[in-house]
Chain A
Amino acid sequence: MYEVRFHGRGGQGAVMAAQALAEAAVIEDKYAIAFPFFGAERRGAPVLAFTRIHDQKIYSRTQVYTPDCVVVLDDTLLDTVDITHGIKENGIAVINSTKKPEEIELGRKIRTAAVEATSIALELLKAPITNTAILGAFSRATGIVGIDSVEKAIMSRFGEKLGEVAGRKNAGAARMAYDRTETGMSSGGKEHAIRKQWLPEYRELPVGGVLGARTTDAGLIGPGSFIENKTGEWATFRPVRDRNRCTMCLACWFDCPEGCIIRIDNGKDLRTDYGYCKGCGICANECPVDAITMMRL
């Protein structure tokens, strides 16, 4: 049995990647299952997805705890999550990164494949959606599924959803990533500030689970805890507003789904709180005078 854990963020398509990988394995006459684990369902929150591949029918329905491979769609996750956690001794990490494997610092020194999936996606798909490109890298680095099967699986899953042209472009992204993947050893020893979780015993839970703001050994919880929990730290793009063009029509302020555009100076000016900006680009899209440009980070 071969087990894969995908690390991504909500909206990046980790779940679709896990499913397409399962389909590629099935194309090669194997048995496979793929499933998501969602935390809070919102764009930008860390997301896990899993794929299991085997020669025979798979019965295990638990999450994957000791993966043979971890796939990382977003290297901003490397700072907060130890993606090597539980990985088998001879396991491999497949990471979307602009760095060479040797330059990537992980919790442990392990076999690592790196590919610039975001650049490939921007070039071919015009969007930083890296879930198809990364599968090409997976195929190259592990040989568990062939690139032809990956392309077929992408055509089938993505083509069905987005149309044939988009399906072919996504398959092309996988092929390009396959060609550009570099494999080596990561460096190890990266320290992760272990994000503690508040896990009280049942008698310590407040009555009715009704929670006021409080500080625990896991930090702030309850109302106001997002003061510490910066949800914008994963953004690929950042909106930059040209003050000279801006007419202060407030369309961006109204439409930002994160509420992170703030009126300042008695409503005469705007400020974007990048701590919570996801870089979704809605503000730039909605601005009637094109005063906002999205800058690649």
Chain B
Amino acid sequence: MKKVITGDHSVAYGAKLARAEVVAAYPITPQTLIVEHIAEFVSDGEMDAKFMPMESEHSVMSATIAAQAAGARTFTATASQGLAFMHEMLYVAAPLRLPIVMVNVNRTIAYPVGIWCEYNDSMAERDSGWLQVYIENNQEALDMVIQGYMIAEDRRVLLPVMPCMDGFVLSHTVEPVELPAQEDVDVFLPGYEPVYSLDPDNPAVAGSFMPPEYIMEMRRQTMDAVEASKKVIPEVGKKFASRFGRDYGGLVEEIGTEGADVVLMTMGTVTSTAREVIAEFRGRVGLVKLRFYRPFPSDEIRDLGSRFRAIGVFDRSLSYTGGGPVFEEVKAALYGYSDIPVINHLAGLGGRDVTAQEIRKMCELTLRAADGERVSRVNWHATRGVPV
């Protein structure tokens, strides 16, 4: 069934179709509509879930962890300050190996206070052990909630998954979304079978104090799970594609890269605009959509390093290293493998619209770097007083 709905509404449908059993949530712009739609589904009897309005995001994540550890499939959503307020609990969920799915609707984190899209909320949680996938459109939002559970609950992974979606550009934008049939989703995503679940009759210690003798090993266990997800993510993507006909690729998606000189790497909705812009470069510029930021696709990036003469990297967040976090990690992945120029393109911070003109400029600068011209490694696009 096709519906014209917002990204938030689409996510709410994803949670419903995935048969999330417990939804604890606290509203925050621009995630609010997700919570409202789920509350409606539950009160209308369309969704068989326990809906828990909480007093804070910290409590949201605590309740979600507890419910998941008790054996329920959980869903929640947040944004910005809300995600930051969960910070300490995020670090509990992943090493406890709880396959929670939580959508983060990207919103700049104060100060300056803003409600629009920037990735400095979710990227600040890159070391928490959560897998992060950045979403391009409302259909992918719904699909990645469902795939999120498949990835998270895979016995080789067992990690929480955070689909990240551009605030307003998706959350409050309507576009057509194909709602899969419940029967099809049920086949693709059977009921949740926990590896462990808390049971008063069979006591276990979860989330406990551990002396230094155990923590290196615990971290290594979580690291292995993140590594294993690199295999599971494309598998789930293929399985999903064969059932529903929509294939998003694995950790990255390549668009028009064949025969290109350089590639531009984008995330989220900027990818969509860039799909149109690269056409103007008649094959010289290919597009790489960075879908997963965790696990970080180091192998795929090394492969790009061997095939192209330069990589342009779009960042919608700043690391105060001078450039953005994706730029830093792309360089780290290429270290020792490739010495092609990597050019950082900072744009869209605080939700500033990323225009076709800016994307065109990103392509041009990347091409010029490939041609041996001295190009600034970090470029602040459309920033008053900063020449590009």
Contact = CB atoms under 8 A, between A and B. Distances in A.
A203 B195 CA distance: 16
A229 B221 CA distance: 28
Contacts of A209: 95-96, 206, 208, 210, 214, 218, 221
A211 B218 contact: no
The 9 closest A-B pairs by CB, nearest first: A202-B217, A208-B97, A223-B203, A212-B204, A208-B96, A202-B220, A210-B206, A211-B205, A210-B196
A1 interface: no
Given A209-B96, A213-B203, 4 more contacts: A205-B214, A205-B221, A207-B196, A209-B206
Interface residues of A, number: 20
Contacts of A143: none
Given A39-B211, A40-B209, A223-B204, A210 B217 contact: no
A207 B218 contact: no
Contacts of A267: none
A207 B217 contact: no
B204 A201 contact: no
Contacts of B158: 207-208
A210 B203 contact: no
Interface in A178-225: 197, 199-203, 205-213, 222-224
A276 B73 CA distance: 40
B205 A208 contact: no
Nearest to A206: B196
A212 B218 CA distance: 16
28 contacts: A200-B217, A202-B216, A202-B218, A202-B221, A203-B221, A205-B221, A206-B196, A207-B158, A207-B196, A208-B95, A208-B98, A208-B158, A208-B195, A208-B196, A209-B96, A209-B218, A209-B221, A210-B69, A210-B204, A210-B206, A211-B208, A212-B202, A212-B203, A212-B204, A213-B203, A222-B205, A223-B203, A224-B203
A200 B218 CA distance: 11
A223 B203 CA distance: 7
Contacts of A207: 97, 158, 195-196, 221
B373 interface: no
Given A202-B221, A223-B205, A210 B213 contact: no
Nearest to B216: A202
Contacts of A213: 203-204
Contact of A199 (B97, B213, B218): B213
A197 B202 CA distance: 24
A221 to B, nearest CB: 9
Interface in A15-59: 39-40
A200 to B, nearest CB: 7
Interface in B187-232: 195-196, 202-206, 208-211, 213-214, 216-218, 220-221, 224
Given A205-B217, A222-B204, A223-B203, A210 B96 contact: yes
Contacts of B202: 212
A216 to B, nearest CB: 13
Contacts of A210: 69, 96, 196, 204-206
A202 B214 CA distance: 8
A207 B69 CA distance: 12
A197 B210 CA distance: 13
A201 B224 CA distance: 13
Contacts of A208: 95-98, 158, 195-196, 206
Contacts of A202: 216-218, 220-221, 224
A201 B206 contact: no
Interface string B72-99: 0000000000000000000000011110
A222 B216 CA distance: 19
Contacts of A203: 221
Of the listed residues A208, A212, A223, the one surrounded by the most CB atoms of chain B closer than 10 A to its CB is A208
Contacts of B206: 208-211
Contacts of B98: 208
A199 to B, nearest CB: 6
Contacts of A224: 203
Contact of A211 (B95, B204, B211, B213): B204
Nearest to B92: A208
Contact of A205 (B69, B205, B211, B218): B218
A64 to B, nearest CB: 16
Nearest to A209: B218
B195 to A, nearest CB: 5
A222 B196 CA distance: 15
Contacts of A212: 202-205
A66 to B, nearest CB: 20
B212 to A, nearest CB: 10
Of the listed residues B98, B209, B221, the one surrounded by the most CB atoms of chain A closer than 10 A to its CB is B221
